[in-house]
Chains A and B, each alone.
Chain A
Amino acid sequence: MTKRETSLGALVAFVVIVVAPLLNALPPEESFFHLSNFSLNLYGKFLTFGVLAISVDLLWGYTGLLSLGQSLFFALGGYAFGMHLMLLIGKLGQYHSDLPDFMVFLGYPKLPPHWVPFKHFWFALGAVALVPGLLALVFGFLAFRSRIKGVYFSILTQALTYGACLLFYRNDFTFGGNNGLTDYKFLLGHDLRSAATQRALYISSALLLLGVYLFSRWLTTTKFGKVQRAIRDSENRVLFSGYAAANFKLFVFVVCAMIAGLGGALYVPQVGIINPSEMEPVKSLEAVVWVAVGGRGTLVGPIIGAVIVNAFKNYANRAFPDYWLMLEGLLFIFSVLFMPKGIVGLPAQIRAALSRPKREEEPAKPAAPAPAPVEAEAESV
């Protein structure tokens, strides 16, 4: 990374972490510079998607493991934190009971034992990372030991998230069935719906994203990172160089599950609900699209992709709600076909295209639709 890129990155981080919340807090609402609560909350959500996207890319772009179930870990982190938030509602629920509403509704006599420790903030915080990590450990151990690779691995991860999704839809699974967990009131003694709390959550999301980014940057520069990319490029050679590739894959799979879980934990209080639809396979596919659009195999790419695609989604869902899924599919196909390195790779791609003036048509066109989302990103920053 060049010096200029580093200072640009620091500037962006400063704007996202410091300037944006200040613009929300300080200027009066009618001011031109005021950033609305709604917008800040929206961007906070995008930042947690950025965390999820990095976890997808550490697996896909860096290790060659296309996980189509990464949203499962995101949702599990969300559920773990949501459970804590549910227990903080107290008697303020619809039924004025100590039990969460859905438990009263479904006739639970008392809190199920596995819910009890989630009363404690620190326990919930640990579970946010450890529950996804544990599931990834068990699943990854079995998959990698059996040397399940490539498309088979992808299909299995998709099946895993779908299976979990069906399980969470069941009312008797003790996590609120299809309604999930919602109607949160407090977090650490603060009113969750107040602007200040939401601002703190936004800042936490930005800091988490920064931390995950820096961690990933460190990880990819270590020898571990080299082995990771070696597995992606030539797993056989890795085995014949004495590395137990399965252990390396397992480690990164677990780490990525934990990262996704942390992202999910901050996502839930900002959107106010977690339900099994977050585990549907399409959610994981979306995360893959973000990475493809932003730039696979880079760490900035997934963040840019997550923010831009979601900003675009946010706009498209209002402008033409019926066509969003189709647009997203087109976006993905377009990226794969014409921007193999994503938005991040676009400058290099354009430069290469310009230095090769004979074929002017094909590379110039793909560049055209990109500017629209780029503006969206600028707005979000």
Chain B
Amino acid sequence: MKEFILAAEDVNKTFQGFKAISNLNFYMDKGELRTVIGPNGAGKTTFLDLITGRSKPDTGSIKFEEKTELTDLNEYQIYRLGVGRKFQTPTVYVDHTVFENLVLSLEGSRGVFNALFARVTPAQRDRIHEILKTINLANKADVKAGTLAHGQKQWLEIGMLLAQNAKLLLVDEPAAGMTDEETVRTGELLLSLAGKHSIIVIEHDMLFVRQIATKVTVLHQGAVLCEGTVDDVQNNEKVIEVYLGRSKARA
């Protein structure tokens, strides 16, 4: 049996009376590419916040690789375990060049004194150029990241996760603001990473979900509504009700 890369059990999180996550149970195998969908306010991003240490759950446990309790750790400790995150709105260092963005993301020491004397080694340089090719930004290496187009920033941030060589990638709405062609390329990129890395993708674009998804988890009101293949999920009565129910009723 495969090891769980991530196991969340009975997780609850309340924001000023609003139950963002409610008795959530979520298991994911190592090497899996999982897509999480759900209507607005279903708790998708909150769930990522809880995994990455940005906020702490009120109750429950989130275990990484079946041994490390993530809820006891802070953001950078969790990162160092090998959990990388791409934010919903692309978050890159706007005043740094694309190359420098990747330098800062490369795996390796994160210490203050190391940073004082670290040099970019030829091996690291090669690795960065490799990533730049993968994310289609090879000719933008020395451009300030702030000047990139929205879609390119998204890619740069994915590239930063690649540089980190994370075990678990959390990718929040990677296709947002991308053209159709870019979306397809992003999907291909994520598919090529699955297996080597475990990936959770949060997405709204069902076309994109269909492209990449093997297993889909539907979140609703902070809990898992159902799990299965894209077709299973799209034909599931409950899902149709949650997504379309109200509009159907109105129609």
Contacts and interface: CB of A to CB of B under 8 A. Distances in A.
**A joins B in a complex:** yes
Interface in A206-233: 219, 222-224, 226-227, 229-230, 232-233
Interface residues of B, number: 30
Contacts of A232: 95
Given A241-B164, A248-B112, A234 B91 contact: yes
Nearest to B120: A223
Contacts, number: 78
Given A237-B93, A240-B85, A247-B112, A226 B75 contact: no
B159 to A, nearest CB: 12
Nearest to A231: B93
Interface in B72-94: 74-76, 79-80, 84-85, 87, 91-94
A229 B116 contact: no
B115 interface: yes
A315 interface: no
A357 interface: no
B73 to A, nearest CB: 12
B118 A223 contact: yes
A236 B91 contact: yes
A222 B96 CA distance: 13
B84 to A, nearest CB: 8
A333 interface: no
Contacts of A251: 112
A239 B117 CA distance: 21
Given A227-B104, A242-B110, A234 B115 contact: no
A223 B100 CA distance: 9
Interface string A71-85: 000000000000000
**Which of A223, A234, A245 is most buried by chain B, counting CB atoms within 10 A of its CB?**
A223
A328 B160 CA distance: 44
Contact of B76 (A223, A233, A242): A242
Mostly, the A contact residues are helix
B93 A229 contact: yes
Nearest to A229: B95
Contacts of B112: 224, 247-248, 251
A134 to B, nearest CB: 18
A336 interface: no
B52 interface: yes
A146 to B, nearest CB: 13
Contacts of A237: 87, 91-93
Interface in A235-255: 236-245, 247-248, 251
Interface of A: 219, 222-224, 226-227, 229-230, 232-234, 236-245, 247-248, 251
21 contacts: A219-B116, A222-B115, A222-B117, A226-B100, A229-B95, A230-B96, A233-B93, A233-B96, A234-B93, A236-B91, A237-B87, A239-B76, A239-B79, A240-B52, A240-B75, A240-B91, A241-B105, A241-B160, A242-B76, A245-B76, A248-B112
